[in-house]
Amino acid sequence: MKTIEFKAWLGGMARLSRGQRDLVREDMAGKVEADLGVKLLEDSVTDTPSCPHCQSQKLYRWGKNAELQRYRCRDCMRTFNALTHTPLAHLHYKSKWLKYQKTMIDGLSVRAAAKACGIAKNTSFKWRHRFLSAACTQQPAQMSGIVEADETFFLESKKGQRNIDRKARKRGGKASKRGLSAEQIPVLVVRDRHGETADFILSGVNAEQIKPVLKPLLNQDTLLCTDGAAVYKAVAKQEHIAHRPVNVAARKRVIAGIYHIQNVNAYHSRLKKWMVKFNGVATKYLANYLGWHRMKERFGENTSPADWLLNAINRTGQFQQRCAT
């Protein structure tokens, strides 16, 4: 809009009724939020400018495309923007992403999130899993102090899949057999007393599955606490892991006031309770939902859609920096 036109438009604001002003304010708030989302993505590269193809820092601006600044590398001559090589590359409607992150913080279903953002259900589904693809790979590398480990189980679900070889269950449903069976997917959750949490989808509860995921998290300063199941005792013995089994079955839940698995079990129950509203998660997306919940716990209550958006493009360094200031 030309300056003279803008001045005339702004002058007209004085003639608006209170109701009309409210409408303008509401509309502007949406537009400001949309601009903020795009700016956030832009800033995430201008702080650390390097070519995602060859890491060169010799860059220059090369026009704009799909709302984002494009750069060109002087060394490899290739172009890129803030989203190149991130899970969000080539997704549309960037101006709605911050709003979508809010629906993820609130834990809305795919359908409810689509409605809140004015997008199609299929778009909402695609966004959800792209936004979660970074989160599902973010696991702590190491634990410290007392480390609790215990498994929990999720009912296998082929939700959304055609040609299911059994009668469909309604909305999550129940296992046809009681106790553990092939229909139950084991998830090992490992959590230390600082709240660092890792989880792993296993194909069975045995040493071959548990050892390779548990061992790298532990070191000479950690002490593993489990429910004393034979599999943990065996892994601890084989790998010389300091291990304190707690015989939960014999109702000895806490030893010496500190050795227990109550933190990891409380995590299981928060996770299960949170998952209920999704009416059964398809097993092939279980890892994404586990990552979502880990992120929710890591960011805590005082989080913002901006934190989640930066996390979705794996700019966690940025996030730490933002926390420090």
Site for Zn ion, residues 32 to 61, rule: CB under 5 A: 51, 53-54, 56
Choice between 27 and 75, CB closer to Zn ion: 75
CA–CA gap between residue 36 and residue 306 (Å, rounded):
9
CA atoms 290, 293, 299, 304: torsion sign: positive
264-278 CB burial, b ≥16 within 10 A, e <16: bbebbeebeeebeeb
Binding segment for Zn ion (CB under 5 A), chosen from 15-23, 25-33, 68-76, 292-300, is 68-76
Query: Helix axis angle, 305-312 relative to 97-105, nearest 10°?
Result: 110
Choice between 71 and 100, CB closer to Zn ion: 71
Task: Please count the residues of this chain forming the interface with Zn ion, following the rule CB under 5 A.
Answer: 7
Give first-to-last CA distance, the chain, whole Å.
Answer: 37
CA–CA gap between residue 169 and residue 158 (Å, rounded):
10
Query: Smallest gap, in angstroms, from Cβ of residue 85 to Zn ion?
Result: 12
Query: Smallest gap, in angstroms, from Cβ of residue 59 to Zn ion?
Result: 8
Binding-residue pattern over the window 71 to 100 for Zn ion, x denoting contact by CB under 5 A = --x-xx------------------------
Token couple for 78: 């290739």
Choice between 86 and 139, CB closer to Zn ion: 86
DSSP 112: H
Query: Smallest gap, in angstroms, from Cβ of residue 79 to Zn ion?
Result: 9
Choice between 56 and 69, CB closer to Zn ion: 56
Question: Footprint of Zn ion on this chain (CB under 5 A)?
Answer: 51, 53-54, 56, 73, 75-76
